[in-house]
Structure 1
């Protein structure tokens, strides 16, 4: 029979200060342990099979003397019944962890991954790019889903709509999905394979990034027709007409202009910074603003709390068709995107600016090594001079030799 110690009282437990282990009494093997820092906790020393074990029952005073005795008594009873209390506690803890893992959403995992990896990212904008692409494309589809349940169908629902139209963005996004899901696997939040893996998996379903056909041909306006068109466009009212003017002045894509926000524009620095998640190539693009572009922006009304430079009449941004509709009402069959081709033709045929500078202004993906080397700096000052010259060409009255008739549709 184990020796039963003299029973400690609540008053004695509270009064004890010396570090050490004190037999509590009342239940064999129950002790009060006091550390050098005077923290107190309950320990039950028992023999399970051939092993002697110390089982923690909690700290004092959170666990009272009476409760410690009750739990120690129940623990000894379970041991007599053949239960290993430590193994049982471990199983309960693992079950709780499994339940918590099953409840972990993709968005929670993505947020935790970004927090963990952000310190190693040298460019502070890298974090913002991660958050923006996930928020725009991934979270609406699977942000609230348990990360353990995400499968191929969810990955394709995110990637397929943009794989052939925004291939660079989609490819970066796929890599980010894969990283988050790998993190979740390592953290035991999911046990299934990674459905966002490319090699040997998605590469059998989606076309390779480098083989996606990106070339599109858009009806463009002849260079010599631009002056007359610009004059007529300037006379038209409405936000869509102003947005179309900005498209022409900046040689930007229609979608980039329609989504432009005031916080992207620095009027003093004469620059518009388009974030990578809104660019076709997935890279941030700085657009120099000519004096004419600055003049246009300063004349725009600020409508309520809208963040958009060119807001739609009923909030939000202008639709894709709104700019095309302006041209149709003016009797033109050219399309807004075609002005980029007109700008490039103007640079090549009417100026001495290098072709590479025009390609950079258009934010085109450069494959030639010389052009790619040119890309290493964004040549903002040189591009500003070029865009000022373009604006001057548009706004300078045409001479008789410059005028050509604009053919109307219909």
Structure 2
């Protein structure tokens, strides 16, 4: 391979050497340049081919360190391996270890926060990954992740928690694509392959139980104690909005008969104007007595009432219906009891109506038509009240 003599140089010789190349033996050389720079390199022969491998600059690598590195890479060459290729392989492995699925998932989440409601603070975007994927696969280098890993991880919930599994697979796909954007060697089709292995879900979707619109007036009348929960449920019913939109209702958002819900609090991420009926305005006025920091429905200690407050109330009443179901009650009433156009009823629920081109040309949110519709709904809802 090279000369058998080792350790020819001394530290003093290395320091004082003029420009040129100096052998320390065993293939280890020091190259001093005319510009004052100097570096170590190792010459070895592998499969009859001479290879020259840099070991670092003299200012960074001492004579002792250079000899230790040379010993390590000579041993690799004796095994018939190219030390340069082996070093690159080890470097790639180290990089893969740094880019675990958990690390890339955290980076992907951080990059998407601006697109998520409340910057993702509620945790709903990340939780499917955090609860069902990362506990098993979080430490796996993302470049080594394959469809069998994903299939084995999601199989336990694929049929009995289909919606959660679907969300977890969707989020994982986003993380994989983020890894590809980082320049990592990932399989961007891994989630589709896993889905093929998992097969079709046997889960039958269950809709949120809704109260028949004919029964809503009696329930509304029973909410007569003037408590925060009763008033929140009344406003929820009268406005056909979502629970979170009511719970975080702030006085600054209400101007006369219009309640403007900011885009970050809307599911679709778009500002939504809600026309308040006279009945709804009366509920807002009554709830103002409980206002804290501008929020109409504060919790006992801090913040606003929880997501479960209204649901638990209805459970204790022995009702199958849930708060979100009042949106369905309202929509069915619209279809069966009014002649209001479909797009007006759908806009009242803050649903996206029509294609992108149609929406680009339609510059109205039907506020006045919806105001009339919500007055009719309020009269129906309050019709059984004394």
Q: Following superposition of structure 1 onto structure 2, how do residues 51-66 of structure 1 map, counting pairs within 5 Å? A: 51-66=49-64
Q: Could you say what secondary structure the match of 1:24 adopts?
A: strand
TM-score by length of 1: 0.62
Is 1:218 the counterpart of 2:211? The answer is yes
On the 8 A contact 1:141/1:157 being kept in 2, the answer is: no
On the 8 A contact 2:109/2:126 being kept in 1, the answer is: no
Aligned to 1:138, which of 88, 110, 129?
A: 129
User: Shift of residue 383 of structure 1?
Assistant: 4.6
Deviations 1:302-344 (A, max 9, x none): 389xx99554779743345334268x49xx9976455435544
User: Shift of residue 251 of structure 1?
Assistant: 0.3
Cα gap change, 1:342 to 1:151, in 2 (>3 Å): closer
Q: Could you say what secondary structure the match of 1:302 adopts?
A: coil
TM-score by length of 2: 0.65
Structure 1 stretches lacking a partner, 5+ long: none
On the 8 A contact 1:32/1:41 being kept in 2, the answer is: yes
User: Shift of residue 144 of structure 1?
Assistant: 3.6
Structure 2 stretches lacking a partner, 5+ long: none
Q: Could you say what secondary structure the match of 1:252 adopts?
A: coil
Q: Following superposition of structure 1 onto structure 2, how do residues 204-283 of structure 1 map, counting pairs within 5 Å? A: 204-206=200-202, 218-221=211-214, 225=217, 229=220, 233=223, 235-254=224-243, 256-257=244-245, 260-261=247-248, 266-267=253-254, 270-273=259-262, 279=267, 283=268
Q: Could you say what secondary structure the match of 1:23 adopts?
A: strand
Please provide the CA RMSD for this pair.
5.5
Cα gap change, 1:182 to 1:143, in 2 (>3 Å): same
Deviations 1:93-134 (A, max 9, x none): 64675577468543323234567xx6xx9x952796799554
User: Shift of residue 158 of structure 1?
Assistant: 5.8
Aligned to 1:110, which of 102, 105, 120?
A: 105
Task: Tell me how far apart the structure 1 counterparts of residues 242 and 136 of structure 2 sit (CA, whole Å).
Answer: 34
Cα gap change, 1:246 to 1:14, in 2 (>3 Å): farther
Deviations 1:7-47 (A, max 9, x none): 766466556796xxx22344264333356875432112343
Is 1:360 the counterpart of 2:347? The answer is yes
Task: Tell me how far apart the structure 2 counterparts of residues 222 and 380 of structure 1 sit (CA, whole Å).
Answer: 36
User: Shift of residue 189 of structure 1?
Assistant: 7.3
User: Shift of residue 203 of structure 1?
Assistant: 4.2
User: Shift of residue 220 of structure 1?
Assistant: 2.1
Task: Tell me how far apart the structure 1 counterparts of residues 73 and 149 of structure 2 sit (CA, whole Å).
Answer: 44
On the 8 A contact 1:262/1:308 being kept in 2, the answer is: yes
On the 8 A contact 2:44/2:74 being kept in 1, the answer is: no
Aligned to 1:174: 169
Task: Tell me how far apart the structure 1 counterparts of residues 269 and 324 of structure 2 sit (CA, whole Å).
Answer: 20
On the 8 A contact 2:273/2:367 being kept in 1, the answer is: yes
Query: How many residues are aligned here?
Result: 364
Task: Tell me how far apart the structure 1 counterparts of residues 29 and 128 of structure 2 sit (CA, whole Å).
Answer: 58
Aligned to 1:41: 39
User: Shift of residue 137 of structure 1?
Assistant: 1.7
Cα gap change, 1:394 to 1:107, in 2 (>3 Å): same
Deviations 1:181-219 (A, max 9, x none): 57779946799x936537633443356xxx957596532
Q: Could you say what secondary structure the match of 1:55 adopts?
A: strand
Q: Could you say what secondary structure the match of 2:307 adopts?
A: coil
Task: Tell me how far apart the structure 2 counterparts of residues 266 and 12 of structure 1 sit (CA, whole Å).
Answer: 80
